[in-house]
A and B are shown apart, each in its own frame.
Chain A
């Protein structure tokens, strides 16, 4: 294998890794949005007054790239409402008031899968999407010619500070993970599986090695990777686990790899073995403003306010509330927002934690250039963006940027480098669209 890519040593702050994971008691009410994935929002299939049980479908997938949505508590549908996503877009949401029973839908049953078709058929009804953050429907991702798959890469890197929910999943749901691996190996003929886990998670590595030894259907290896952010970035992970380089605008499958997050894998195992679709998430609740930071198993649709209350409440007014980690996570506009399918962490950061230095002019220190895992030159991209020079932006391969935030993290002038890269990519997208229109 060639060199290790650049990265940064972020603070780990993985204080919740050792704390016991607790299951949240049924919230009084959940608000379940229909758009928790990439693709078309689901369409509600229930109406006000319906009673629902856990695992019962309440939203039907709308088209191929979409995902159904399921009730996460039992009770009565009290409202169909509008929900504002962090992107600012609106979507429909189903509000369920709990009957306190947490009764499970009786019709759920295991799914036997033997080949690609039966696997994809089954997963289409699972509601499972990429749980590492992206939320891309898993049945679409796996619907590829099995002959093209050399490696199934499992992302257990969990490189973002604070978050430990993937680690907890690997420690506690080994059986689900093993079940899923066997099924995927059978259905897709996968021969090689590689786990990429950062080496600061010794127990998870041990647990997965033990699990791997029990699997006869395919060769499962566990790779301990340096704890260097962004180890869990898809292209970074594939390179460090398989040595294959995914070029600009390419997907893992273009180099013979399929990447799944370890929690997604566990969800597949649960669904295939029991029929229980995705209705709950293990979420790391952390940050200086949280009284009892811990991992909580939460019904999807629970409000963040209820989640914080469950964790002893907030000790001070948080400066920011974030879905996901502090490097790539998205700020939440209100504590009324819900836990979504792809929520792996909710952070309430204090002013002190989220402190950024004063923004000054770029002092050309070169830190951004020397830190970017992909060898990009954010400082040059920023200059090209200022001039609106799209040719230069293309030549600088700005589309390669994975928005990992390393450059902004190290910039002593606190320049908004990631933001500029996003805007630059947007600029190129718009230009491409214009050209397509002309053609």
Chain B
């Protein structure tokens, strides 16, 4: 027994968490929202979901093939982008637009910046904003609640009931209306320790508080407006994207606070009806700076010691 054995650097064991495992958990956490969307908007909602996932994975595979990079689709992040993008779109969206949006998300936002981990902004969000700008009308019709909130003076009468808002029984993007389903996904992500509570809680809390003051201290209306539109979907699943959100707890709080405030500013005072995507996109861009500001203190002072 004098064979040579394997030499490697420590540590020699691992927690077992993997990139693909995390992405799988995100996919699972989005299942309730996808199911709810299908129930609410009919089985045709499955078409954009399928097209976006297939297109995203396909484009990433194709890109890697063309530029001769190692294949990365097995890390499941392209599938996550596809599903998230679809959940942000209306059920009746023309499928060719889904394909174009996927192409933009995967190739322009992600692959051209070096693939997973390299992108500066969230691919699904950016593609959604791109589609809003490029295909204007179609996309806007997907966001009736935000459109109402932005275009006319707010009034609770125009909003669905709290129960309908909670169950998602109103118009909007496939995955954004059913608050219950989104909360189930949030709990799953927390239990699996994929994300921490900071970003979703602070984001949603900020929107609620701002709205509460804005509508004149009417809690029911503030809650309705917070549940309506894309706040929950954005706060739980888009703003928590690892690549484009800060690492430390304080960084996450600042990020979420900024995103919540911007969402409200755009919603209530801006020209665009859809605040969430723009707000997250903007905070994505600030993330590297937030990361620098909020770095942990090194034990015993580090360099300065």
Q: Is the CB of A334 within 8 A of B4?
A: yes
**Interface membership of B12, Cβ < 8 A:** yes
Q: Tell me whether B18 and A358 are in contact (CB under 8 A).
A: yes
A412 and B21 contact, CB distance less than 8 A: yes
Interface-central residue, B1, B5, B9, B10, by most chain A CB under 10 Å: B10
Q: Are B242 and A363 in contact (CB under 8 A)?
A: yes
Does A10 touch B at the CB level, under 8 Å? yes
B12, B15, B72, B118 interface centre (most CB from chain A within 10 Å):
B12
Residues of A152-167 at the interface with B, using a CB-CB cut-off of 8 Å, are: 161
Q: Which residue in A333, A364, A400 is a CB contact (below 8 Å) of B117?
A: A364
Asked if A189 is at the interface of the complex by the 8 Å CB criterion, the answer is no
A335 contacts B5, CB within 8 Å? yes
Q: How far is the CA of A356 from the CA of B305 in the complex (A)?
A: 36
Instruction: State in angstroms the CA–CA spacing of A321 and B6 once bound together.
Output: 8
Stretch at the interface among B40-48, B51-59, B60-68, B290-298: B290-298
Selected interface stretch from A44-52, A55-63, A111-119, A241-249: A241-249
Contact pattern, B 1-35, Cβ under 8 Å of A = 1, otherwise 0: 11111111111111111111110000000000000
> Cβ of A146 < 8 Å from any Cβ of B?
no
B7's partner among A5, A333, A373, A405 (CB-CB below 8 A) is A333
* Contacting residues, chain A, for B15 (C-beta < 8 A): 8, 409-410
Separation of A366 and B241 alpha carbons in the complex (Å): 11
Q: Smallest distance from the beta carbon of B196 to chain A beta carbons, Å?
A: 9
User: What chain A residues lie within 8 Å of B115 (beta carbons)?
Assistant: 361
Given A366-B242, A418-B9, check contact A360 B14 (CB 8 Å): no
Q: In whole angstroms, how far apart are the Cα atoms of A358 and B73 in the complex?
A: 13
B residues near A403, Cβ cutoff 8 Å:
10
- Tell me the complex Cα distance, A326–B15, Å: 12
Beyond A360-B75, A410-B15, A414-B18, whether A328 also contacts B298 by CB under 8 A is no
List the count of A-B residue pairs having beta carbons below 8 Å apart: 182
**Nearest Cβ on chain B to A404's Cβ, whole angstroms:** 8
**A40 at interface, CB cutoff 8 A:** no
- CA–CA, A397 to B301, complex, Å? 9
CB of B303 within 8 A of CB of A334, answer: no
A142 CB-CB contact with B under 8 Å:
no
In the complex, what distance in Å separates the CA atom of A12 from the CA atom of B247?
Answer: 28
Interface string of A217-241 (1 = CB under 8 A from B): 0000000000000000001000100
B79 shortest CB reach to chain A, Å = 14
Known contacts A319-B6, A363-B243, A418-B9; A355/B299 CB under 8 A: no
Task: Report yes or no: A334 in contact with B3, Cβ–Cβ below 8 A.
Answer: yes
- Within the complex, the shortest CB–CB distance from B125 to chain A, in Å, comes to 16
In the assembled complex, the Cα of A327 lies from the Cα of B11 at a distance in Å of 4
Question: Nearest A residue to B302 by beta-carbon distance?
Answer: A397
In the complex, A330 has a CB within 8 A of chain B = yes
B: interface residue count bin: 35 or more
Tell me which residues across on chain B come within 8 A of A394, comparing CB atoms. 303
Asked if B114 is an interface residue, CB under 8 A from chain A, the answer is yes
Interface size on A, residues (CB 8 A): 72
In the complex, which residue of chain B has the Cβ closest to the Cβ of A403?
A: B10
A395 to B298, CA, bound (A): 10
- A320, B299: Cβ atoms closer than 8 Å: no
Q: Is the CB of B75 within 8 A of A320?
A: no
Stretch at the interface among A102-110, A168-176, A268-276, A374-382: A374-382
B155 within 8 A of A: no
Assembled-state Cα–Cα distance A76/B19 (Å)? 57
- Whether, in the assembled complex, A19 has its beta carbon less than 8 Å from a beta carbon of chain B, the answer is no
Contacts of B299 in A (CB 8 A): 5, 235, 239, 245, 373-375, 400
A144: CB under 8 A from chain B? no
Residue among A10, A361, A418 with the highest chain B CB neighbour number at 10 A = A361
Is A305 within 8 A of B2, CB to CB?
yes
A407, closest chain B residue (CB):
B11
Chain B residues 153 to 185 lying within 8 A of chain A, measured CB to CB, are: none
In the complex, which residues of chain A have a beta carbon less than 8 angstroms from the beta carbon of B17? 357, 367, 410, 412
Assess whether B300 is interfacial by the CB under 8 Å rule: yes
A370 touches B117 (CB 8 A): no
Q: Which residues of A contact B5 (CB under 8 A)?
A: 318, 320-321, 331-335
A320 to B4: give the CA distance in the assembly, Å. 10
State A407–B139 Cα separation when bound (angstroms): 43
Select one of B12, B114, B242, B295 contacting A320, CB under 8 A: B12
Besides A305-B1, A349-B13, A357-B17, 19 other A-B contacts (C-beta < 8 A): A248-B302, A319-B6, A327-B11, A327-B13, A330-B10, A334-B2, A336-B2, A357-B16, A360-B18, A361-B116, A363-B242, A366-B247, A369-B247, A370-B249, A375-B298, A376-B298, A377-B247, A412-B21, A416-B9
What are 15 contact pairs spanning A and B, CB under 8 A? A248-B300, A327-B13, A335-B1, A335-B2, A358-B18, A360-B116, A363-B243, A369-B247, A375-B296, A380-B295, A403-B10, A409-B14, A409-B15, A410-B15, A414-B14
